[in-house]
Every structure is written in structure tokens, then in C-alpha cells.
Copies of this chain bind each other. A is one copy, B any other.
Amino acid sequence: MKKKLMIENQEIEFFILKDQDGEVMIEVDGQKFDFKVLKSNPEHFIFSYGGRNHFSNISPSRRSGVIVDGKTYKIGPIERGGAASKGSDGEAMSSPMPGKILKLLVEVGAKVSKGDGLLIMEAMKMEHTIKASNDGVLEKFHYQEGELVDGGVELVELKGMEEA
């Protein structure tokens, strides 16, 4: 599945060709890169690439970028500009960090108000309630209960109500 992220104001397309037991293969620009995740904690993230250990870390909010091999990259989801993906108060309905979907709190098709809990995910041993960023109708959950999700991934599709 093709995915997209913004890196330093460029829209970058990539594929995850493998993601299992800490082994991750990512394809960018027709080139494939094999990584092995060695350690991940709030302070640093260490992976192996080309037989060498590489050091990196990520901002706690995940919004201020990552530092890899000493270089900083602004990286984040594509800004759609639409109300559905980003609320007026700037709260995105995406996973704050990698984790597991614990519970879906509303039915697909339900009308929800800004601030309503939509789903609960567990990450870093804490539970996080993902709330509606604006009033609307819940169109779709991208993940089901029990599924593992990456960080920064959109979790729901919420159709905004015009002049609600």
C-alpha cells in the first residue's frame, strides 16, 4: 500500500514492504531500505542499517520532527486542509504514537460532537482517548479493535457538517 508523509515540506511517497519482528523494509524513490529496530524508548530509537547501529530520537509530541544520524527532519502527515482530518483547534485524530486499538466507542454513521471520545488506544502502557476534532458524522474507522497501528496514522474518517 502506498503511503505518504510530509518531509521538510515535500510530499514523500513510500511503501512499507515488510514490518515484522522489528524488521522493516521501506521503499522510497524506487530504492529499498532494510532496517532492524534495536531499541525504542522515549529518549532514543536505535536501529541497524547496513550492518551499523544508527541513533535517532523523536520529539515527545511527534510534531517537532525527528533527529537521525545527527540531522533534523520535519516530518508528519500530509495536511489535507479539510475539516475532516484536522480540527479547528489543531487536534488531529491520528495516533499519537504506535500502539494498539483497544475499543471503538461509537458506531459508524453516528453523529458526534466535537470532543466526543471516538476510540481508545493503548500506547506506552497508557490509554489514550481519541476525540472528535469537530462536529460531524463518523464515516469510517481505519482500524478495528485489537489492531496495531503506527504513530501519526489517521484513525478515523469524520465528515464535517456544513454550518452545523
Contacts and interface: CB of A to CB of B under 8 A. Distances in A.
Interface in A103-140: 126-129
Copy total for this chain: 2
Nearest to A126: B126
Of the four ranges (under 10, 10 to 19, 20 to 34, 35 or more), the interface on chain A belongs to under 10
Interface in A128-159: 128-129
A126 B126 CA distance: 8
A120 B63 CA distance: 27
A126 B120 CA distance: 12
Contacts of A126: 126-128
A99 B127 CA distance: 15
A129 B103 CA distance: 13
A128 B128 CA distance: 8
A127 B129 CA distance: 7
Contacts of A128: 126-127
A109 B126 CA distance: 28
Interface of A: 126-129
